[in-house]
C-alpha cells in the first residue's frame, strides 16, 4: 500500500519536534488530530513507530528507519518547490525558439537581445528551419515558441497571425532590370530564372502562389535552401528572386542588389505563430511572446535601455 504522505508528514514533525503538541503547532492543527494521524499511520505501516514516554516521544527502530527516508523525501520536495519558484521568477531555465529561416535570421534578433538582457540566466536555444520542420518540432514539444512564414494546416496546431511581411523582387546590380525606371511586366519575369527556396519553405509557397494568381509562370526555377545563398546567387547573375524585404537591406545599401517593382503585383504574406491547443506555456515563453507582440516603438526603447518589463 502506498504511503500516505500527509500522515508521514505528521509523524516526521512529531519526531523532529519531540512532542505531539509542538507538532500540532508546527502544522497548524490540533493535538488530537496529530495523535490520531500518527496512530492511523502506524496501523497502515503495520508496526509501532513511536515510543510514548512520560518525557515525550521517541522513534522506535522502525520509526528511525522511516524517518531517514522521510527526510530525503521532504528535502526533495523543498528542492522542487524552490526550482518551481525560480522558474516562475525567470531566474533560471531555458527557452527553445523555433523559427522559419527568414524570421530567425532577420526578424527576431532585437527580441532575443532584449530578452537576454532582461533575463540573462535563461538559456536561449534557437532552431532555424523551414515551416514544416518548425511545425513538426512544435508538435513534438521540442520547442516552446514557433514562428513560421507560410500557412500551415495541421489538426494538432493553432496558427495565430503574428506580422505581415512584404516580399520584393531582387536582381543583381548588373542585371538588365536594374536600370529600368518603370515596374517590370509579368511576362518579363516569366522569361527569367526564378531562384526559390526548397519544398516545405513558406517563402516558396507564398511566392509561387502569388505569381500563379497573376498568370506568371517562370520558364525555369533554381532551388536554393537559404535566403542568404539566394541573395549571393542573385548578386552574381544566376537569376532573380522574390524574398522578404527584411532580408535585403544591407545588400541594397551596398549596391550589390536592387529592389524592382513588378507591374500590378504586390506580394505580402502573413507570418504566423504556431501553438498547441491547451498547452500551458512556460513563464519564459509567455514573456517572450509578449515581446513579440509589442509595438515597434516600445521595442526600440526597451532595447536601447537594455531592459524589458512585460
Q: How confident is the model at residue 48 (pLDDT cuts 50, 70, 90)?
A: very high
CB contact at 8 A, 173 and 256 = yes
State the Cα–Cα distance between residues 210 and 234, nearest whole angstrom: 20
Q: How confident is the model at residue 235 (pLDDT cuts 50, 70, 90)?
A: very high
Strands 257-260 and 220-223: unpaired
5-88 shares its CATH topology with 166-268:
no
How confident is the model at residue 67, as a pLDDT?
Answer: 92
Q: Where are the domains of the chain?
A: 5-88, 93-161+271-304, 166-268
State the Cα–Cα distance between residues 309 and 286, nearest whole angstrom: 13
pLDDT of 264 strictly over 70 = yes
Fold of the domain built from segment(s) 93-161+271-304: D-Maltodextrin-Binding Protein; domain 2 (3.40.190)
Minimum mean pLDDT among 1-5, 39-43, 113-117, 213-217: which range? 1-5
Fold of the domain built from segment(s) 5-88: Arc Repressor Mutant, subunit A (1.10.10)
State the Cα–Cα distance between residues 41 and 72, nearest whole angstrom: 19
Length of the chain in terms of residues written? 310
Q: How confident is the model at residue 85 (pLDDT cuts 50, 70, 90)?
A: low
Alpha carbon of 110 to those of 60, 146, 291, 299: distances in Å?
A: 63, 17, 10, 8
Mean pLDDT for all residues in the chain:
88
Q: What is the average per-residue pLDDT within 102-116?
A: 90
Fold of the domain built from segment(s) 166-268: D-Maltodextrin-Binding Protein; domain 2 (3.40.190)
Amino acid at each position: 500500500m502506498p504511503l500516505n504522505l500527509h500522515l508521514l508528514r505528521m509523524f516526521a514533525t512529531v519526531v523532529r519536534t519531540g512532542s505531539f503538541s509542538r507538532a500540532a503547532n508546527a502544522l497548524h492543527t490540533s493535538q488530537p488530530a496529530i495523535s490520531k494521524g500518527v496512530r492511523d499511520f502506524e496501523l497502515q505501516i503495520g508496526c509501532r513507530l513511536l515510543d510514548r514516554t512520560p518525557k515525550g516521544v521517541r522513534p522506535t527502530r522502525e520509526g528511525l528507519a522511516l524517518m531517514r527516508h522521510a527526510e530525503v523525501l521532504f528535502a526533495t520536495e523543498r528542492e522542487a518547490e524552490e526550482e518551481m519558484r525560480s522558474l516562475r521568477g525567470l531566474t533560471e531555465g531555458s527557452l527553445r525558439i523555433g523559427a522559419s529561416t527568414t524570421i530567425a535570421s532577420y526578424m527576431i534578433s532585437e527580441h532575443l537581445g532584449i530578452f537576454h538582457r532582461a533575463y540573462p540566466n535563461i538559456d536561449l536555444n534557437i532552431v532555424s528551419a523551414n515551416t514544416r520542420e518548425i511545425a513538426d518540432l512544435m508538435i513534438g514539444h521540442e520547442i516552446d515558441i514557433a514562428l513560421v512564414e507560410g500557412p500551415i494546416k495541421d489538426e494538432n496546431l493553432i496558427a495565430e497571425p503574428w506580422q505581415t511581411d512584404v516580399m520584393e523582387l531582387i536582381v543583381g546590380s548588373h542585371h538588365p532590370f536594374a536600370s529600368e525606371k518603370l515596374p517590370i511586366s509579368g511576362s518579363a519575369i516569366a522569361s527569367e530564372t526564378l531562384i526559390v527556396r526548397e519544398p516545405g519553405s513558406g517563402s516558396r509557397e507564398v511566392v509561387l502562389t502569388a505569381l500563379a494568381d497573376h498568370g506568371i509562370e517562370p520558364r525555369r526555377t533554381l532551388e536554393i535552401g537559404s535566403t542568404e545563398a539566394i541573395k549571393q546567387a542573385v548578386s552574381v547573375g544566376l537569376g532573380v528572386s522574390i524574398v522578404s524585404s527584411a532580408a535585403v537591406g544591407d545588400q541594397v545599401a551596398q549596391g550589390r542588389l536592387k529592389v524592382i517593382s513588378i507591374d500590378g503585383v504586390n506580394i505580402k504574406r502573413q507570418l504566423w505563430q504556431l501553438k498547441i491547443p491547451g498547452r500551458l506555456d512556460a513563464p519564459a515563453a509567455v514573456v517572450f511572446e509578449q515581446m513579440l507582440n509589442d509595438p515597434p516603438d516600445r521595442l526600440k526603447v526597451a532595447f536601447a535601455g537594455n531592459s524589458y518589463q512585460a
